[in-house]
A and B are shown apart, each in its own frame.
Chain A
Amino acid sequence: MSRKRVFMKGDRSDGRMERCPEPTIDQLVAHYHGDVYRYAFRLSGRVQDAEDLCQQVFLIAQQRLNQLRDPRSARAWLLAITRSQYCRLCRRKRPILAEDSEVALDAIAEEVPEEIDAEALELALASLDNAHRTVLLMFYIEQMSYRSMAEELGVPIGTVMSRLSRAKARLRQMVLSSELAHGS
């Protein structure tokens, strides 16, 4: 248990708003539009949808700015709005698939690629249903714990664990397949 942490950037707060006890919406846009857009893009998979979603998120944030009590949690707050807005949009279009995808828990590949092909990553994300993709992005982008995810999504912890491990396995599998295909 002496390994150093590898990728987590600490807790979910960040210091960008430390000097702004009462951040304005303009400050939030200036500091976090990139984070919100990236998340929106990973959720939706489309540039235009991501920008629309981004606009929508800040419109909502503007209306609910008084709900942001701790400016250090501004990023997490905005990302949560992004996710909930995306889920709402998805519910309008079609129901979120909640069943487990047919992804087997494979033995994790020991060879970690030096670089991940962006296209392969997008395809892999697109191949996941909303439920799995959402959990995956909550883990990587929102950096939420599995308990928080379960609370947020209103599902049992076991469901989160199952979805997350399968989604990660699927992602690794597809990225690796792409690497192998390019290599050969």
Chain B
Amino acid sequence: MAANESNEPIKSRLDVAWSTQMEMYHSVEELAADPAAAALRETMAGREDLSERFDCQMRWDAMLFDALHDVEVPEGLAGRVLDRLHASVECRAAGKSRVGVGADAVRRSRRWWLVATSAAAVVGAAAVTLRLIPWRTDLSAWKVGDWLDAMERRGRWRAHRTLADGTRIVRGFPIDQGLRLTPRKFVRGKLGGRPAVLYQGATASGHAWALAVVRVDEPLPLPSLPPQVPVQASSGSCGAAWQNGGLVYVLRLRGTPADYRSLVKPGIPLA
């Protein structure tokens, strides 16, 4: 009797251990299939109370299983999930295209930032240098730089066509006769609401240039011929602006003033 009493705590602990182990199984089959449960199965076979406990646990589990799955799914959830998934796909697609175009755009943008700022500066400098009356049409207000940038990104560049006589022009926007330029490509657009063409090319020595030709009928306070000396020069680039007939030209060259002069035909008066 005394021995039985002293074994009670051990038995109690063992029962807790058996109970704990029983809780791990979803079903009798699972319990039967687990090699680690051999001792438990053997004990259960000889102990009705443990078997009853397992039965009871299974009933509880069944109730809790049902209760835990009894959750009302919000109406339209699947649609909202799909909407977001599709939106995400579109975003990624847009993102990829932004990245793909972006790298190029960044490179071009950097290149053209210089072109744009220089061109704008050229126009501004021309006004200051020539100390002329305020422009009736303010070129700087056209945001030449922004335009060049946008044209570079969005413009549909075309290869410059060659006429039968070897002249390269875009109808209505000829390159000034006083320049030695051979464009590689051009893009049409509008600058300040006015029709314009942007030409791109490079000199024989590899200096990139850009020439904006803008249709402006009213006379602006600009030289009427390409200046032999660039109006504006900064580190690595130089440029000038002038108006010839109904066209305003803004030229920007990556190069020195000497390179610039090589583009202007001799005999043209100095600005």
Contacts and interface: CB of A to CB of B under 8 A. Distances in A.
Q: Do A and B bind each other?
A: yes
Interface of A: 1, 3-8, 25-26, 29-30, 33-34, 37-38, 41-42, 47, 51, 54-55, 58-59, 62, 105, 108-110, 112-113, 116, 118, 121, 137, 139-141, 143, 145-146, 160-162, 164-165, 168, 171-172, 175
Contacts of A175: 64
B20 to A, nearest CB: 4
B81 A54 contact: yes
B63 interface: yes
Interface string B84-95: 110011000000
Instruction: Identify whether the interface residues of B are mostly helix, strand, loop, or mixed.
Output: helix
Contacts of B56: 108-110, 112
B213 to A, nearest CB: 49
B58 A7 contact: yes
A6 B59 contact: yes
A181 to B, nearest CB: 17
B21 A161 contact: yes
The secondary-structure label for the interface of chain A is: helix
B19 A105 contact: yes
Contact of A59 (B65, B80, B85): B85
B133 interface: no
A38 B72 CA distance: 8
B71 A1 contact: no
A144 to B, nearest CB: 9
A106 to B, nearest CB: 10
Contact of B81 (A1, A33, A140): A33
Given A33-B73, A37-B77, A140 B65 contact: yes
Contact of B61 (A6, A30, A37, A118): A6
A116 B69 contact: no
Given A112-B56, A116-B63, A171-B64, A51 B28 contact: no
Contacts of B66: 7, 116
Contact of B30 (A8, A116, A171): A8
Contacts of B21: 161
Contact of A25 (B19, B45, B73, B85): B85
Contacts of B31: 1
